[in-house]
């Protein structure tokens, strides 16, 4: 899944992101940044994420064109 950071508090790690598909707001899991390249997040930052069993966003990582589901135009000439 992919979304955009709506808010993030670096002092306690609390945050909210907005899902690109359904525009639902998802809270960040307490361990959302563990093992990621992120040390903090900024408002408007695009991320790829998973949902844990509680429905919290976790395993935040950088996205790519593949993650966006963008069409491959390389064969269309």
* Res. 74 pLDDT band, cuts 50 70 90: low
Residue 75 lies in a domain: no
Residue 33 lies in a domain: yes
- Burial status of residue 5 (CB atoms within 10 A of its CB: 0-12, 13-18, 19 or more): buried
Does the pLDDT at position 13 exceed 70?
A: yes
Provide the domain count of the chain. 1
Domain interval for residue 15:
2-67
Check residue 62 and give its pLDDT: 86
* Res. 1 pLDDT band, cuts 50 70 90: very high
Residue 17 lies in a domain: yes
Residue 77 lies in a domain: no
Residue 41 lies in a domain: yes
pTM for this entry: 0.79
- More confidently predicted of 21 and 69: 21
Q: Count of residues for the chain? A: 77
Does the pLDDT at position 32 exceed 90?
A: yes
Residue 76 lies in a domain: no
Q: What is the CATH number of the domain that holds 54?
A: 2.40.50.140
């Amino acid at each position: 899944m992919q979304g955009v950071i709506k808010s993030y508090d670096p002092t306690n790690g609390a945050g909210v992101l907005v899902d690109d598909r359904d525009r639902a707001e998802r809270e960040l899991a307490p361990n959302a940044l563990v093992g990621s390249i992120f040390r903090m997040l900024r408002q408007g930052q695009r991320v790829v994420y998973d949902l844990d069993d509680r429905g919290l966003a976790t395993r935040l990582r950088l996205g790519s064109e593949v993650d966006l589901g963008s069409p491959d135009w390389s064969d269309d000439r």
